């Protein structure tokens, strides 16, 4: 590809009007298309993190939850599969809330720590003795 692009005289582009430059641009992109064709890459949906706090364990639990939901629809509400779905859904929601809280809290502390470092406050307090350190560090 570098050989094909190096053969093109790029100096005359400055003297072209807009229509000729656009035509030349399309010719150049066709050369790139021949050398490196466009390939569609499919990423499996179960490997895509939709949220920053979404861990592999939560993704796997979400998949299990959807399977339990499909099983639940086949039986009456009193059946064991319906009860399993409700129990698992409650646990999943609890762990999801914990993950969201931990992620946002962790980000808050990271941001606060970097801001304090930039202001020069954090390095002074960390170098002091533990007895002299304020409680919020």
DSSP code per residue over 79-129: SHHHHHHHHHHHHHHHHHHHHHHHHHHHHHHHHHHHHHHHHTHHHHHHHS-
Best CA proximity match to 95, nearest among 49, 60, 69, 50: 60
Inter-residue contact 33 to 68 (CB < 8 Å): no
pLDDT confidence bin for 22, thresholds 50/70/90: confident
Category of 133 on φ-ψ map: left (φ > 0), alpha (ψ -120 to 50) or beta:
beta
As a dihedral over the C-alpha atoms of residue 124, residue 127, residue 131, residue 135, rounded to 10 degrees, the angle is 50
Taking residues 125-133, report their average pLDDT: 51
Average pLDDT over residues 10-35: 78
Q: What is the pLDDT of residues 45-85, one digit of tens each?
A: 766 777 777 888 888 888 889 999 999 988 888 888 888 89
Decide: 126 and 137 in contact? Cβ < 8 Å: yes
The values of phi and psi at residue 42, to 5°, are -100, 125
- This prediction has a pTM of 0.48
Q: Show me where the domains of the chain are located.
A: 2-35, 45-127
Q: 42: pLDDT confidence band, cut at 50, 70 and 90?
A: confident
Provide the pLDDT confidence category of residue 137 given band limits of 50, 70 and 90. very low
């Amino acid at each position: 590809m570098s050989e094909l692009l190096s053969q093109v005289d790029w100096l005359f582009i400055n003297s072209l009007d807009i229509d000729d430059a656009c035509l030349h641009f399309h010719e150049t992109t066709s050369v790139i298309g021949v050398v490196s064709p466009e390939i569609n890459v499919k990423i499996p949906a179960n490997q895509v993190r939709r949220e920053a706090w979404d861990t592999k364990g939560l993704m796997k639990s979400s998949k299990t939850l959807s399977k339990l939901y499909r099983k639940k629809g086949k039986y009456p509400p009193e059946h064991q599969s319906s009860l399993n779905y409700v129990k698992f859904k409650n646990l999943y929601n609890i762990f999801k809330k914990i993950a969201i809280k931990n992620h946002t809290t962790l980000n808050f502390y990271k941001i606060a720590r970097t801001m304090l470092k930039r202001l020069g406050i954090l390095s002074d307090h960390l170098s002091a003795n533990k007895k002299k350190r304020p409680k919020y560090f």
